[in-house]
Amino acid sequence: MPLTFQPQNRRDFCRNVLGGTLAAAFWTASEKSRAEESPRDHWVFLSDTHIPGNPNEGRHGYNPNKNFADTREAVLQLGNKPQGVIVTGDFAFLQGKPEDYRQIAAQVAPYTENGIPVHVSLGNHDNIDNFYAAFTDLKKESSPVVNKHIAVLETPNVNLFLLDSLYLPDAVSGLLGLEQLRWLKKELNARKDKPALLFAHHNLDSKAGMLMDREEFWNVVKPAKQVKAYIYGHTHIYQQEVRDGVHLINLPALGWEFQSGKQPLGWSDAEISGNGIRLTLHTLPPNHPKNGDVRNFEWLR
């Protein structure tokens, strides 16, 4: 049964699907051809929104509430309505205070009122208890892993895994934890019929603030050949690399950036087929040199 949650007194904030069927591990040539011909999934990816309870508060000269609202209006104007929005962490400002999530509820309401669900992977500036308190249709005890907000979204072309790397609110590093990794391995094994995209907040390199159990995570990812990409935020840098045939896609931040305009702020329009993903970057402001940047990621394994 689908699991949905919404802001207080709001409807249809997010739909999380936990289910699936066991299928073959490898595609035939005919299946690949059908994937090429099938309509693309259409999503919007955001990261590091850092929304404060005070609509006028911000950092580094940026107003995250305005950035989120401007992005939302642009998305709502798209001719091809996206199937949903995914936020890869740091939804809230700095400590995930209750007032942050009340403001977030107001900010996401126009999405849900227009039939666009918003899905969230929590980051280190979030607070899971305050998050659940704000979105009352989601029950904390319903999560398959204690104290983690996770889900699988099944789409026509791919399976989207939303992971939770929040360790402690306002602690820089992240942690998936043994139970979540066991859950991920089980759910991946049950879904070998379509490519899998994994979403979480933290980076996997050895820099400060990385995912602390990144090696254990990769021990699950590497043998699962249906995993094609890991999509994350945290660093406020738009970059990409490949590891063991898996695309690592670091989304740009939306709330603020740290490099005096050298890094773009913005949102990604994602078109996903059975064979790859096409990301088009929309920057704030739109006169940034990276606006309209298109990146194509073909599945490598």
Domain ranges of the chain: 39-298
Kindly list the distances between the CA atom of residue 80 and the CA atoms of 43, 44, 84, in Å, as whole numbers in the listed order.
10, 11, 12
Is residue 35's pLDDT more than 90?
A: no
Fold of 39-298: Purple Acid Phosphatase; chain A, domain 2 (3.60.21)
Is residue 197's pLDDT more than 80?
A: yes
pLDDT tens for 52-66 read: 999 999 998 999 999
- Mean pLDDT of the chain, nearest integer: 88
Is residue 8's pLDDT more than 50?
A: no
Q: Round to whole Å and give the CA distance between 159 and 106.
A: 29
Query: DSSP assignment, residue 156?
Result: S
Q: Round to whole Å and give the CA distance between 197 and 24.
A: 18
pLDDT tens for 63-86 read: 999 999 999 999 999 999 999 999
Structure tokens at 301: 């394994």
Is residue 5's pLDDT more than 70?
A: no
Neighbouring-strand partners of residue 270: 43, 279
Higher pLDDT among residues 122 and 10, named by residue: 122
pLDDT of residue 209: 79
pLDDT of residue 293: 97
The three-state secondary structure class of 27 is: coil
Count CA atoms within 13 Å of residue 70 on its CB side.
Answer: 17
**Lowest mean pLDDT: which of 12-16, 86-90, 140-144, 235-239?**
12-16
